[in-house]
Amino acid sequence: YAMLLSLIFLIVLVAAVVGFVFRHEIKTNFESNLNLALRDYNVTADRHSQAVDTIQRTLHCCGVQNYSDWERTEYFTQRGIPRSCCKSQDDCSEEDLKNPSKAKLKVFEDGCFSLVTSTMESKMSVVAGMSFGIACFQLIGIILACCLSQYITNNQYEMV
C-alpha cells in the first residue's frame, strides 16, 4: 500500500513540475487551438463550437484577442458574429452581428484568451494549496502504512 501511495505521489509531483515548466507552451497551444475552434466554428452540435460558446457566455468575452477575430472566419461571412458574444441576447439582431461597426456596441470587446489565462492564473494558488494538502495526506498515509508494516513484521517474529 505504501508503494502504491508513493507511486501516485511521484506521478502527481512529476505532473506538477511538468505543468510548471511547460506553462508557456500550454498557453501557446491553447491560443492556437482556440484560433482553430474559431476558424472551424459552425452552428451544428460540434463540441468545439459548444466550447467556444460556453467560454464566451461564461467569461463575457468574444474571439481570441477581441471580437474582430470573427471577421476572418467563414462563419462571419454567413451569419456574422455568434450570438454567444452578445452582451444582451434581446438586443442582438443578425444584421447587427454582420456589421462590425454596429456589432462593436453590442458584443463583448475583450478577447477570451487573456480572460481564460488570467482566470487560470488567479485560481492557481487554490489549486496549488489543494495539491499541497493532498500531498501531505499521501505522505502521512505512506508513513502510517510503513509503520503498520513494521509493526506486523515485528509481531510475527515475537509469536513464533
Which pLDDT tens digit goes with each residue over 10-32? 888 888 888 778 878 888 898 99
Write down the mean pLDDT value for the chain.
Answer: 85
CA distance 101 to 92: 13
Within 10 angstroms of residue 25's Cβ, the number of other Cβ atoms is: 9
**Is 147 in contact with 98 (CB distance < 8 Å)?**
no
Quote the percentage of the chain above a pLDDT of 90.
9
Say if residue 44's pLDDT is above 70: no
CA distance 59 to 66: 13
Instruction: Calculate the dihedral angle through the C-alpha atoms of 119, 121, 127, 129, rounding to the nearest 10 degrees.
Output: -130
Q: What is the CATH number of the domain that holds 78?
A: 1.10.1450.10
pLDDT tens digits along 108-118: 888 899 888 88
Say if residue 157's pLDDT is above 70: no
- pTM of the complete model: 0.67
C-alpha atoms less than 13 angstroms from C-alpha of 109 in its C-beta half-sphere: 4
Give the residue-averaged pLDDT of 108-135: 85
- The pLDDT assigned to 13 comes to 84
How many separate domains does the chain show?
A: 1
Question: Which residue range is the domain that position 51 belongs to?
Answer: 1-158
β partners of residue 66: 110
Phi-psi label, residue 46: left if phi above 0, alpha if psi -120 to 50, beta otherwise: beta
User: Which of 13-22, 37-46, 55-64, 69-78 shows the lowest per-residue confidence on average (mean pLDDT)?
Assistant: 37-46
CA distance 82 to 75: 8
